[in-house]
Structure 1
Amino acid sequence: MDPIREAHLSEPGLLVIDVAGFDDATVLAFQAAIARIWGTSSVERTTRDAGQPGVRLRMYTDLRQVLEEASSPVPAPSAT
Structure 2
Amino acid sequence: MPCTRQINDAHMAAPDLAVVEIAAADDETALAVQELLAARCAIAPADRTTRDPGEPGVRLRCFLDLREEPDS
Q: For 1:5-48, what per-residue CA distance to the aligned partner results, in whole angstroms no more than 9, with x for missing partners?
A: 00100010000001100000000000000001100012110000
Structure 2 match to 1:44: 47
| Alignment TM-score, normalising by the size of structure 2 | 0.89
Amino-acid identity (%):
42
| Alignment TM-score, normalising by the size of structure 1 | 0.81
* Matches of 1:9 and 1:27, distance apart in 2: 22
Root-mean-square deviation over aligned CA pairs: 1.4
Structure 1 match to 2:21: 18
Aligned residues: 69
Gaps of 5+ in 2: none
Larger Rg, first or second structure (1 or 2): 1
Gaps of 5+ in 1: 70-80
Is the 8 Å Cα contact of residues 42 and 71 (structure 2) preserved in structure 1? no
- Does the C-alpha gap of structure 1 residues 68 and 58 become closer, same or farther in structure 2, counting only changes over 3 Å? closer
How far apart are residue 68 of structure 1 and its match? 8.3
3-state secondary structure, aligned to 1:17: strand
